[in-house]
Structure formats: structure tokens, C-alpha cells
Structure 1
Amino acid sequence: MRVGLLASFALLLAACAGRATRTSPPAALPALSVAEQAVADARQAERELALQQDSQWSLVGRIAVASGRNGGSGRLEWAQHGGRFEVSVSAPVTRQSWTLGGDDGGARLDGLEGGRRDGPDAAQLLREATGWDVPVPALAYWIRGARASGFGPARLDYGPDGRPVRIEQAGWTIDYRWPEPGDGVATGAESAVPLPSRIDARRGEARVKLVIDAWGVDG
């Protein structure tokens, strides 16, 4: 049964593989003085506090996932309502899709061969059903440029504008791109907190790349 699930998921992602977005981590991270680091850390703490208050948000974009020699990409929709989430990935060519949803009480996976699956942890459920390593609960934080609560200490590196260009946490390294004028990233409802346009998360052979086309902040 797991072979069928993996094949279905691989087909879904491979349908958009030709359009996968390739992003590279920064060639060299900027060196900050002790004083500059302290200022950047304080601003990041303010950012993360503001992001906690924006507990309802959504995005649409593209995801590219790789694990070892396998990989592909698809269309991504993510809706977050406090601790409750729903993540959908679809391939327009094959018209196949799956949805992963849940909250602190557990997770469910719908749309793959074999029917609905349930489990206590979203990342584990997805990994067992498909073989893909995607840190879903932590991504809910990392995707907005924040440290993930409950995942241990984190190291942050900042750019000249004080925004994080890299977060290292829970064995993952997450590199960031931020919108520039003309990028065309829609922010939806007005938000006082800048949000990333791309992230590249990696741990060992696992890769998760996200390109955000539009953010929605429902506050």
C-alpha cells in the first residue's frame, strides 16, 4: 500500500517538475558587529511577537521537494488558523492533489491512494505515507521568517536590512529571500510585518523549497 501512495505522490510532484524554482543560499552571509547583532536580535524578537498576533494567515505559491534522488514540485495552498492548519498541494497537469490538515490534537492526510490516513504528528504522517521529509509544524513558523516554537534553540543570521537571511534550528538550515520592488508578491490584507518571498530549507538530503506568490493576513 505504501508503494502505491509513494507512486501517487511522486506522480503528483513530477507533473510540475519542469517548472520547479531553483534557489541558491546566499554566497556569503554578512558579518555584523556585536552591537549590530544585538539590534538585529531585538528587531527579530519584535517581528516574532507581531507574527504571533497574526495567528490567521494564508498563502499560495509553489513547492519543490527532494529526498535523495527523487523530487518534484507542485502548486501550494496553506491556510493557518491559530494552531489549526490545512496544506494542499496540487499538480494542474494530472489534476491530482492531496491535503494535509490538523492541529495540536493530530493530523489527517487526504487524497492519496488508499484513502484518508490519520496520525498524531503531521510530519511523521506525511513521511510514513510518502517517504518525504517535510517539517510541517516548524514550517508554519519558518515560512514567515520566525524561529519555530518548541523546536529548541536557533541560530539566526541577518542581512543589512535586519531581516533574517538564515535560520538554523532542529537540524534544518533555512535560507530566505525577501520581496524587492517589482517582484510582484501580493501581501493580501495589510500587515506591518514583512514576509518572505522564498525559502530554501534543507537537512541532509532533504530539501524543501517554497516560492510565495501571494500572502493573505486575516489577523
Structure 2
Amino acid sequence: MTGWFRGLGLVSVVLLSACATTRPVTHHEGDGVTLGQQADRERVLADTNHWTLQGKLSVSDGNDNHSGGLTWKQDGDRYEFTIRAPVTGRSFRLTGGPDGAELDGLDGGPRRGPNAETLMAQTVGWQLPMAELKSWVLGLRADAGPADIRFGDDRLPSQLVQDGWTVDYKAWDATRQPAMPSKVFAEKPPYKVRLAIESWQLGQ
């Protein structure tokens, strides 16, 4: 792993402490009203595959922690995932789609792989479930098999368990319609992915 990736972990706590306030952890099974509201959200957002989010990302393998500023642009099946180092300002860019993935910004030039998950694991040791995260970040269940979903007192999803990952929705932006997640923590021991979203631009 390159040195600048190791250096990212030094400020991960500072970055995440500046994000949206964490709501109290409550997990309730959905009743008819709550499940109906979630079904409505999923219908509205089901075809949302053009968007840009800005925020901060922290990734841990149980030993090392790495974090940085994030810009994620989703354009249908294609994505551009840019992470900026907080101290040096150096960035790397993960791009790709159904035909494979490319990681640019590492020493030695671009690296390529069959998909984002394999490429990130092989080059920097990150376990980043990109295919599922595309849905989870919208507060939706992914097309990855059965999912157990629970809700907070605000009737918005508080926890989603799917494909071996536990996704906790720590905060939502309820000023948007529909409401959108603003703090998403995903964990599959020993791996952790923490995403704090500062802004959403849907349809862009």
C-alpha cells in the first residue's frame, strides 16, 4: 500500500466529527405505515442512477484507517469516485462500469481490474462493496439477495442487513423529499466503511 494511503488515517476522527449529528440508535420492525412509506421511497428512487454526492469517506480493515474528502458521481452504470487526501491534497480517482474499473493516482500509474471491488482490494486493501453501496447510500435495499430492514422513531430506515454487511443510517436529511441519508456506516467485520454526506445533487 502506498505511503499516502497510510497517512490518510491520521485525521479520520476529525473528519467524521465534523459531519451530521448522529441520531439516537433505535431499531424497530416496520409496521404497515412505515413499510408503506419505505416502499414509496424505493419506488421514487428506484430509477435514480444519475447523481453526485459530496462528503467524507473513512475505511478500515480493523488495523488501518484511511479517510478523505469524497466526490461520487453516478451516471447510469458508470461511476467516478474521487477521494482527496486531507493534508497533501493529493487525490485518486476510481472510474468504471460494466466493462471494468480503473484506479488512477497511485504511484506507478493507473491500475485496472474487472470491477471496483476486486481492484480496490488488490491495490490498496480496501473492502468497498461498490455494487451494493450504490443502493445503500440512497437508503434502498440492493439487488444482492434478502435484506432485513429496521426503522428509527422517525420512520426512516435505521439499519439494513444484507449480503453479510450491517448498514446503520446514523443521520438523514429530512428537509429533502424524499429524505436522503446523510451519515451511513457499513460494517462486515473486520471491515468498516463510514460515509458522511454533505450534499446531494440528484439527476446530475
TM-score, structure 1 as length reference:
0.83
1:136, CA displacement in angstroms? 1.4
Q: Percent same amino acid among aligned pairs?
A: 35
Deviations 1:13-58 (A, max 9, x none): 23533513168795442355xxx1x332332222122112322111
- Given candidates 94, 116, 139, the residue that maps to 2:88 is 94
* Structure 2 gap segments, 5+ residues each: none
**From 145, 156, 164, the counterpart of 2:149:** 156
Matched, 1:8 2:4: yes
Match of 1:210 in 2: 195
Change in 2 beyond 3 A, CA 1:82/1:40: same
C-alpha contact (below 8 Å) 1:6/1:131 kept by paired residues: no
Q: Is this contact kept in 2: 1:197–1:213, CA < 8 A? A: yes
Distance 1:175 1:143, change over 3 A: same
What residue in structure 2 maps to residue 84 of structure 1? Answer: 78
TM-score, with length taken from structure 2: 0.88
| Alignment correspondent of 2:171 | 178
Given that 1:107 and 1:125 are in contact with CA atoms closer than 8 Å, whether structure 2 keeps it comes out as yes
Cα deviation for residue 9 of structure 1 reads: 2.0
Q: Is the 2:186–2:194 contact (alpha carbons within 8 Å) kept by the matching residues of 1?
A: yes
Corresponding residue for residue 184 of structure 1: none
Q: 1:19 aligns with which of 14, 18, 42?
A: 14
Cα distance in 1 between the residues matched to 2:53 and 2:163 = 24
Q: Aligned equivalents of 1:24 and 1:65: distance in 2?
A: 18
Equivalent position SS for 1:127: helix
Unaligned 5+ residue runs, structure 1?
182-186
- For residues 63 and 180 of structure 1, the distance between their equivalents in structure 2, rounded to whole angstroms, comes to 18
Aligned to 1:107: 101
Partners of 2:187 and 2:172 lie apart in 1 by 21
Alpha-carbon distance, 1:7 to partner = 3.0
| 2:23/2:171 contact within 8 Å kept | no
Work out whether residues 16 and 73 of structure 1, in 8 Å CA contact, stay in contact via their aligned partners in 2: yes
Tell me the residue number matched to 2:125: 131
